[in-house]
Amino acid sequence: MTIPFKVGKTTIQVIAFCLISCWFTLARAQNEPSKFKVIAFYTAKNDQAHISFVHEANSWFPTMAAKYHFTYDSTKNWNNLNAEFLSHYQVVLFLDTRPDDPAQRAAFQKYMDSGGAWMGFHFSAFALTPSAYPQNWDWYHNIFLGSGSYVSNTWRPTSAILRVEDRKLPFTKHLSQTFKSAPNEWYRWSNDLRKNPDIKILLSIDSASFPLGTGPKPNEIWHSGYYPVVWTNKNYKMIYLNMGHNDIDYENKTNKELSYTFDNTQESGLIINALLWLGEGKH
């Protein structure tokens, strides 16, 4: 026997109210103005690990932009690194490389000196003379980043235990004191950032990580030492993160992606919260 289901007037009114409320909530979220605009510059050539990270970032950041109501654009045209173009954006990202043209460099320095914000990843701080990316930009590498030249790296890309050095900032205070990172190629620098009063080290490699790296070369395995991996310059609205090198199957020559930076919950939380900190101007 079928029992008839009766819908009363009150039930219909409640359903209608819920539907209308959901519609208004969705419409308000869709129409909420962008809080700030981000432009990401990238090159995405040569190293498959860096290319992988760039593609991952250009997929992940738009999702975060929709969630947190900011605008995310990206370009591989470094000629856009000029005053007029940058005037439309509150935050600049360097996903892999850095500008080489003197005019582009001058425009970026002026942008930062004028209160612009910047986030850089991994290879954006690389400088080695002689190489395709020599250290020929003192303001950027020695003053702005403070790190100087690249000295060495770990290999293969390996997860590390990271230690939070400063928990006072909005994007570090909710992190675990230590946490395991996504696999990465970690860099060592010529300058000791601890001796630079303008630099605030936010995360470093915890000693529990050692030995870090698998080689095959002995110098690609770190057994001790102090290695900052995330820091900010107190004189600028900026943050550098050494993350940005996904693990790739180089050995079998398949170029298959073996890891993703933004799959790590603590790491991706750090990145998005740091970006919101830069974009919303809460310093």
pLDDT digits (tens, 9 = 90+) for 14-72: 444 445 544 443 344 456 788 999 999 999 998 999 999 999 999 999 999 999 999 99
Across 103-125, average pLDDT: 98
Mean pLDDT (whole number) for 155-178: 96
Which pLDDT score is estimated for 82?
A: 98
Higher pLDDT, 11 or 183: 183
Task: State how far Cα 270 lies from the chain centre.
Answer: 8
Residues in the chain: 283
State the pLDDT at residue 22: 40
What residue spans define the domains of the chain?
34-279
Cα separations (Å) of 111 from 42, 91, 245? 18, 10, 27
Better-scored residue on pLDDT, 2 or 75: 75
Instruction: Work out the pLDDT band at 12, boundaries 50, 70, 90.
Output: low
Q: Indicate the pairing of strand 37-41 with strand 91-94.
A: parallel
Percent of the chain with pLDDT over 70: 88
Residue 276 has, within 13 A of its CA and on its CB side, a CA count of 16
Residue 283 has pLDDT above 50, yes or no: no
Global pTM exceeds 0.85: yes
For the segment 209-238, what is each residue's pLDDT rounded down to a tens digit?
999 999 999 999 999 999 999 999 999 999
**135 against 46, higher pLDDT:** 135
pLDDT number for residue 47: 93
Give the tokens for residue 271.
Answer: 């990145």
The model's confidence at residue 282, banded by pLDDT at 50, 70 and 90, is low
CATH fold label, 34-279: Rossmann fold (3.40.50)
Residue 33: predicted pLDDT:
83
Q: How far apart are CA 160 and CA 150, in angstroms?
A: 19
* DSSP strand pairing (199-205 vs 161-164): antiparallel
Q: 111, 41 in Cβ contact below 8 A?
A: no
Structure-model confidence comparison of residues 10 and 39, the more confident one: 39
Per DSSP, the residues of 89-125 read: -SEEEESS----SHHHHHHHHHHHHTT-EEEEEGGGG
CB atoms < 10 A from the CB of 101, how many? 11
Q: What is the reported pLDDT for 46?
A: 85
pLDDT digits (tens, 9 = 90+) for 250-263: 889 999 999 999 99
Q: What local confidence, expressed as pLDDT, does residue 11 receive?
A: 46
Whether the pLDDT of residue 206 is over 70: the answer is yes
As a whole-number percent, the residues of the chain with pLDDT over 90 amount to: 85
